[in-house]
Chain A
């Protein structure tokens, strides 16, 4: 039986724990790595890239376009992720990666992608069916990290496993009646959420934005520091805008530009919110932030009385794509 949205949200930490340290059963030799996908699948790629890029000796690039870069070739490992296995852009990425002679690993629950990868003898990691794509990221992060490890990237499973108990406690707080996620949700109603963080968590603020888009049906934006300090920050100073809600996520080990931005905004009388994630490591704060954004967006949908799972225009686009000659 399919899980409800709140059950899927609850399961994130457990899904992650279940898949950490998976032995894929092979090693992968590559010069560079591309993580290919769209939407919720690409968010997983972003998170993994944020985790691995600082410590990996291989270039890691997230690709969100059917056009693969010209430098992709025989030395490239292409990890192709599509929960449904039917995302048009991702299918095209798969075809092009195969044509270019990449080593290909597919992460999917089924669809045409599974069919093609099976036919072509590509490596396949199968995801459980019945989840909503954007709520499958626990599985997808764990499996993608396992593939990255097989390609020579550092093993992060022990470090992530060590924070799972704390993440479960945090989940309990988010699900409780006094949850900060509920407070945030009520604050964001009738506002345009604009979320900002250290660039180390660029995947997280992008996740917040897309969760507001899909779950809450709100337009939202995100920024990352230090870039935000060079373009955009000035336009916020001294303002108390009626319909935009600026939030800065403050995390363990932040770049100094985060505190500088907060000081600069505070000193100018800007109305904005700072959320101190309160974890005991950079990694813990990253996962806490993902959970906080996910719960907030779902609570917003509940407060609006709308179905968080329904994404009518995305389905409309998929319908139109059926008319595109393959």
Chain B
């Protein structure tokens, strides 16, 4: 059972450069929302995702969306071990663009031992072969891309799967929000903002922070900067930061002057949380610790985090053009 995007699309995609592929996230998502999954998704009680590296962005976005809008959780794991609760009543979706990581193959086998319903989202490789051998449903994404540039395709597919599973209306929501993500992307293409942010980061080691609804985005910023600049980057979560990390950053740490705090900010739906984030930034600035804040609009991670992912890619690309960190 293989469904997905045909070879004509592959031919088209291979002619587009990688950066354009990455920034085509809204168009890719729109396209993949229309794919017929080709198999019935069980209306089971439990759904979860497994992925590694750049494959994690789309599942993290959908998981964060489910946290806000679903009566069922959809955890996103980057781990080679399967949690104890995963059983025959679970739909486990494995996302691996090239289907070749040892860890995803190990998880695939473990999930089979648990007797759960497996679904693979991939383009090729041993995962595709194993799924074919085991008659496990596969949704393919176009070959000739990379895990990093396939985020949009995977996002649409995962939203369709969770909607089919009866978890939440993620596919409908994504379809509604794609125009605003595309508009944001277009506005940034014409804006000096990404280059200005890159200029501020340049020469520093960024640590990117955000509230949990931004988790896909701050992780993606780190990965993109790692890959584009061969430099280091880190990430962390707010408001947990205020209970420990704030103390470290409050100290001058003169041995590490290159460290730079980057905060992805947006309305969280909690006045308390917004108050805490604003005050955390203010406290650091009062101690002369430079903090770079990046304001994002939107309330739903499908929109807000997708836009932050696109911006992060533009910033990382600008850093690469500058010759790295």
Contacts and interface: CB of A to CB of B under 8 A. Distances in A.
A56 B85 contact: yes
Interface stretch (B33-41, B186-194, B243-251): B243-251
A240 interface: no
B84 A64 contact: no
A212 B73 CA distance: 33
Contacts of B251: 217-219
Interface in B212-251: 212, 219, 222-223, 226-227, 230-234, 237, 239-240, 242-251
A270 to B, nearest CB: 12
Contacts of B232: 232, 235-236, 244
B247 A314 contact: yes
Given A65-B273, A243-B256, A313 B283 contact: yes
A213 B248 contact: yes
B79 interface: yes
Contacts of B73: 32, 59, 61, 69, 71
Given A67-B269, A71-B71, A314-B243, A57 B87 contact: yes
A155 to B, nearest CB: 14
Chain A interface residue bracket vs B: 35 or more
B52 interface: yes
Interface of A: 32, 38-40, 42, 52-61, 64-67, 69-71, 73, 87-89, 92, 190-192, 199-200, 209-210, 212-214, 216-221, 226-227, 230-232, 234-236, 243-244, 255-257, 311-314, 316-317, 320-321, 324
24 contacts: A39-B240, A40-B244, A56-B83, A59-B73, A59-B75, A61-B75, A64-B212, A65-B212, A67-B268, A70-B71, A71-B70, A199-B78, A199-B81, A213-B244, A213-B248, A214-B244, A217-B248, A219-B249, A226-B103, A230-B223, A231-B53, A231-B226, A231-B227, A317-B283
Given A67-B269, A70-B67, A313-B247, 17 more contacts: A56-B85, A61-B75, A70-B68, A199-B78, A199-B80, A210-B245, A213-B244, A213-B246, A218-B253, A220-B248, A221-B207, A231-B53, A232-B226, A235-B231, A236-B232, A243-B255, A312-B250
